[in-house]
């Protein structure tokens, strides 16, 4: 079962993917090829359906990171 945090992050990643692919298509339609390629460079793993679900998303909990930092001070 996924935690609420994992579900939130998954939804957020889905939103970013949807926005990025729509923006890429818009830039291509506007013939802004350089801009579209710059976006594709940043998100090339997400544009490839073979890699889309294999790419690891790394994140951290800010409170946990702060506690860890304070532990080693």
Ramachandran class of 9: left when φ > 0, alpha when ψ lies in -120 to 50, beta otherwise: alpha
Q: Is the pTM of this model over 0.75?
A: no
Alpha-carbon dihedral angle through residues 57, 35, 41, 13, given to the nearest 10 degrees: 10
Per-residue pLDDT of the chain (73 residues; tens, 9 = 90+): 678 887 888 888 889 889 999 999 999 999 999 999 999 888 877 777 776 666 666 667 788 888 888 888 7
Nearest to 47 by CA among 30, 13, 26, 24: 24
């Amino acid at each position: 079962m996924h935690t609420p945090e994992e579900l939130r992050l998954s939804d957020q990643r889905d939103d970013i993917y949807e926005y990025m692919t729509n923006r890429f298509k818009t830039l291509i339609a506007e013939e802004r090829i350089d801009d579209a390629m710059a976006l594709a460079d940043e998100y090339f793993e997400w544009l490839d359906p073979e890699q889309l679900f294999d790419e690891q998303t790394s994140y951290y909990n800010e409170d946990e990171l702060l506690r860890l930092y304070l532990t080693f001070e």
